[in-house]
Homo-oligomer: A and B are copies of this chain.
Amino acid sequence: MFNLFPIDNGVCAPEGFYCNGVSAGLKANSQLDLAFIYADSLCDVEAIFTQNKFCAAPIMHYKEYQEGFKTNFILINSKNANALTGNEGINNIKEVLSTLQQMFPNVTNPIMSSTGTIGVQLPKEKIISAFPLFKLDTKNNQNAANAIMTTDRFNKTIAFEVFLDDGKSFRIGAICKGAGMINPSLATMLCFITTDAAIPKEDMRPLLLKASKTTFNAISVDGDTSTNDTILLLTNHKSGVYHKEAFLFALEKLMHKLATDIVRDGEGATKLVAFEIKGAKTQQEAEKCAKALSQSLLVKTALFGCDPNWGRIASTIGASGIECSPETLEIYFDDICVYSKGKILFDDINEEKATRILKQDSFKILCDIGLGKESFIAYGCDLGYDYVKINADYRT
């Protein structure tokens, strides 16, 4: 029905999109810290934001635009979250963006997005002083992806060309950042998605929400929810091509890759773990239980130590508040069953096999609650010394 091909250039892979990253002196040593995404025609836009009640100034600024507004520009800075900064924080955005529009009269309804330390006013002069470096017809996706990184160890970018049966195609691309303060209720990150698909405005929000549920809303690094979480989807319709199922499929693929990349890059993390819950009574319980596992400090530290301490997994399920019984529960590390319906199968041979699985870069912990038919997969990581190091020293 349709075919997906990975392509280069991330957020500027779709026709008519441009981007770059420059240094505004926010990060040390002239590192890239200020990015833009520009479209040469006006785009429909949809966004999902953090559920944190203290959402950052850029989010409040976005919400001042009229419902259904169109845009062609996103400005993104790292090192400063512009959160808990009051009216001054919003006024700083307005000053920054109106200066930008004086310099680039084509820019219409610009959106700003920020990540970094909370509770410090935006260094607007530094940001403005870097505008002369912007060339709007640049297509440098690597620079843009690097400029939005904070504690990320690698940049996160992806793009697909989607071919329909009639040979027509559209493109979709994205860049994304996130490594800490990552928790469901929109995982804490910034993600910018561009497409030239002719997706109708009314399809954008439902598809974005649907794809979020099993991707960015299914990951956790540390259980903390930031003030700045943002997913933005921009379309300029330029391909003239749209196929709803194909678009959703591509969107889910794209968001799943970026979301698991965030977990893989979790602060101090050494492995990506899929926590799959099966046999729960309700969908809500499956999700609650999978997320409890992905957030348990004792599970995460055992994973770091490559210790298949399944008792901590069982205990976390029992403490998660869902309906469950030791008589119906089964626990697997990949395909190794260590506990089955009241029976401990954790002999020396199985323990050695499970330990070997835990030494892999990625694996699955499967728990069958045995009481129903609902399932959910949450993605998490281990927690090691480097998480403490990164977050004890973050501001210094």
Contacts and interface: CB of A to CB of B under 8 A. Distances in A.
A295 B223 CA distance: 9
A240 interface: no
Nearest to A324: B53
A384 interface: yes
A109 interface: no
Interface stretch (A26-34, A206-214, A313-321): A313-321
B385 A319 contact: no
Contacts of A62: none
A316 B52 CA distance: 8
Contacts of A121: 344
A49 interface: no
Number of copies: 2
A118 B314 CA distance: 9
Max chain B Cβ within 10 angstroms of own Cβ: one of A117, A297, A301: A297
B52 A318 contact: yes
Interface stretch (A79-87, A100-108, A160-168, A372-380): A79-87
Nearest to A308: B395
Nearest to A317: B54
Contact of A181 (B298, B307, B310, B391): B298
A346 B85 CA distance: 12
B312 A118 contact: yes
A227 B119 contact: no
A302 B54 contact: no
Contacts of A310: 119
A391 B84 contact: no
A284 to B, nearest CB: 16
A315 B118 contact: yes
A347 to B, nearest CB: 12
Chain A interface, DSSP helix/strand/loop, else mixed: loop
A184 to B, nearest CB: 11
Given A84-B344, A314-B119, A392 B388 contact: no
B339 A53 contact: no
A318 B312 CA distance: 30
A224 interface: yes
Interface in A355-396: 383-385, 387-389, 391-396
A326 interface: yes
Given A224-B316, A297-B223, A318-B53, A85 B344 contact: yes
A201 interface: no
A342 interface: yes
B52 A319 contact: yes
A312 to B, nearest CB: 7
A224 B392 contact: no
A24 B218 CA distance: 46
A200 interface: no
A318 B54 contact: yes
Contacts of A391: 297-298, 301-302, 305
Nearest to A300: B391
Interface string A154-195: 000000000000000000000000001101010000000000
A372 B387 CA distance: 36
Interface in A211-252: 222-227
Given A180-B298, A318-B54, A394-B302, A83 B224 contact: no
Contacts of A85: 344
Interface in A304-342: 304-305, 307, 309-312, 314-319, 322-327, 339, 342
Given A118-B309, A181-B315, 7 more contacts: A83-B311, A120-B311, A121-B344, A224-B319, A225-B315, A302-B391, A307-B394
The 8 nearest A-B residue pairs measured at CB: A118-B311, A305-B392, A54-B318, A119-B311, A301-B391, A225-B319, A53-B318, A222-B297
